[in-house]
A and B are shown apart, each in its own frame.
Chain A
């Protein structure tokens, strides 16, 4: 199960079934791993440690779900009206391809031709009131039969390797984390490792919240893809993090402040092992750490992210070596616990 396969899988928030099934199947082949699906639809894979009791129980989480769209109604002339699932800036989906529903019916998102726009139109941002998915249906009846209200829509973007070790794909946030959960489960640790392939992160970190309560771990590690703005001649202060500099460690973001001792320990582990890493230079955004750290009587949690350009767009970009770097630091950290 490689990163290409994972990103080309469709799993919008609340509709992660296809990926969930595939992960359950994949994990059957993993030695010493006990796998189950919990009440929130998270896939939970537990690998007991070889250390003496009492062992630390560490929850390592990455989210299965991706941003997308959902059909809200069909127009008389057969176009689909849609709403975003998770944060999708309507400005990045114009003139893009999508697939509609589990049968992946092809669709496109068009826009009024530039010739027909007034100067004011050109300034105006097209919102979800102006955006339609076109599947070529001839009328409302056909549209409703092919894509009834509630049908999920995903970006139709294949995985491309390009440039100097870069990857362009959809859903890199957070299939990079899912990919690394699968890879780290192939190693052994002294502590108990509870890998949670969680659901609904993009719509409010709902899967991780339930899983953290149910698993009651001693510690949390969140594997994410995070926004990176290191191109376009932007000042250092606005870049957030950088591709090619290894995994990005957060000290704080919009939803959590990393336990200071755990943050220092993480940095120490990276330094001692000579692993590349850098510190996230922005405190915006949020992720599963916000849910996990507040589970029960609190869980110290650290966030390790792969810098991701054009996140939440149909065509996001990561550097593959940063994906490997996230795995290396996560494993090194687990080995110390």
Chain B
């Protein structure tokens, strides 16, 4: 599988929280060759089932993306913006976007130029309400093509940096969906007893509603959530970030310790570099909702470090992603009926 191709194609597909239909269709096709059955449920979750007689495992990574929405059209034809998920307003000025109206329109985000600002205003960041999208059309034409509620997404090309690092929009969390694809592909050539459900989840950015309902439907014995975690950059505070070049497993009350230990042991055995991070309370990922689905589901969280989360230049390490696919495949392959013994003792 050409990872970069999948990542860049996926980044170009619309899929804000609650409207993941197109990205779900894309990933459904990608999973199909590697599993027995693929369905897309009412929450737009992709559920790719590889049948087995062993323990039932759900693995999930979310397909939805943060985006923007048209909340007003001014008399001069410019568009005002609202948030769908946590877009940092600091990244908006001079960003290029797609406006998903009746037609897909190219736009640039504008703001008052500095020489027209007061000295006090120059010391402040632009607020979302001071910014607008310029689509280069007169107001009457804009009103014909664009409506309040239409989506606005970043239009940033995929960028290859040195040492196998790549930057793009929506690496959070389509890089981890891609990691699941890699694992599914590897498993086709490995022995595996487990009954595996790979889930492309939805609405994570607004509270993991896709994973919550998928977990109910699947009713797994065990779950692995995959998401991105903050990689260290200049100025980041200690203990808030992890190393950028290797995977990370989370330790904390929301994470079941026994399967976590299994994951750590598995990484050690197969020489996959796996660091750990601590979440003293919630993890702010699908793991939180999946863990309390039905009567409770033992859940672990595997993270891919990412720089500049929730920007249009989210940066990951391809080697870490590939290693993640390998680790998950081994973890699934080695799951046997005995995994549940002494779960809480």
**Chain A residues with a Cβ under 8 A of chain B:** 75, 77, 79, 87, 89, 91-97, 105-117, 122-126, 130, 132, 134-138, 142, 146, 156-157, 160, 162-166, 168, 227, 229-234, 238, 240, 284-285, 309-311, 313-315, 317, 319
Q: Is the CB of B78 within 8 A of A231?
A: yes
Residues of B within 8 A of A (CB): 74-78, 86-88, 90-91, 93-96, 105-108, 110-116, 122-126, 130-132, 134-138, 141, 156-157, 159-165, 167, 230, 232-237, 240-241, 284, 307-313, 315
Bound state CA distance, A249 and B40, in angstroms? Answer: 60
Q: Interface SS of chain A: helix, strand, loop or mixed?
A: loop
Q: What is the CA–CA distance of A288 and B130 in the complex, to the nearest angstrom?
A: 32
Q: Closest 5 CB pairs between A and B?
A: A163-B136, A136-B161, A166-B136, A110-B308, A95-B91
Establish whether residues A232 and B159, one from each chain, have CB atoms under 8 Å apart when the complex forms.
Answer: no
**A111 with B90: in contact, given A137-B163, A146-B162, A234-B112 (CB under 8 Å)?**
yes
Which residue of B has the minimal Cβ distance to A231? Answer: B78
List of A residues within 8 angstroms of B105 by Cβ: 162-163
A163–B233 touching, CB < 8 Å: no
Contact A310 B108 (CB under 8 A): yes
Given contacts A95-B91, A163-B137, A231-B77, contact A309 B163 (CB under 8 A): no
| Cα–Cα, bound, A85→B123 (Å) | 20
In the assembled complex, the CB of A49 is this many whole angstroms from the nearest CB of chain B, namely 38
Contact yes or no, A122 B125, CB < 8 A: yes
Chain B nearest CB from A93 CB (Å) reads: 8
Q: Is the CB of B76 within 8 A of A231?
A: yes
Cβ of A123: which chain B residues have Cβ within 8 Å of it? Answer: 124-125
Q: Are B233 and A112 in contact (CB under 8 A)?
A: yes
Bound complex: CA A336 to CA B134 (Å): 38
B74 CB contacts on chain A under 8 angstroms: 232-233
- List the A residue with the shortest CB-CB distance to B160: A106
Residues of A within 8 A of B141 (CB): 164
19 contacts between A and B (CB under 8 A): A91-B126, A95-B156, A95-B308, A110-B307, A112-B235, A116-B236, A123-B125, A134-B307, A134-B315, A136-B164, A156-B159, A163-B105, A163-B137, A231-B77, A231-B134, A232-B78, A284-B116, A309-B110, A310-B108
In the complex, the answer to whether A91 meets B136 with C-beta atoms within 8 Å is: no
Q: Which residue of A lies closest to B137 (CB)?
A: A163
Residue of B nearest to A244 (CB): B138
Which residues of B sit under 8 angstroms from A94, Cβ to Cβ?
Answer: 90-91, 93, 311
Pairwise interchain contact B108-A317, C-beta atoms closer than 8 A: yes
Contact between A116 and B230, CB atoms less than 8 A apart? yes
Q: Which of B96, B112, B237, B311 is in CB contact (< 8 Å) with A232?
A: B112
Cβ contact within 8 Å between A97 and B96: no
Q: Name which residue of chain B comes closest to A314, CB basis.
A: B94
Rounded to whole Å, the gap between the CB of A123 and the closest CB of chain B is 6
Contacts of B107 in A (CB 8 A): 162
Cα A162 to Cα B145 with chains together (Å) = 14
User: B307 contacts A309, CB within 8 Å?
Assistant: no
- Give complex CA distance A321, B124 in Å: 35
Interface pair B106/A124, CB less than 8 Å apart: no
* Distance to closest chain A CB from B5 (angstroms): 18
Q: Please report the C-alpha to C-alpha distance between residue A75 and residue B235 in the assembled complex, in whole angstroms.
A: 11
Contact A162 B233 (CB under 8 A): no
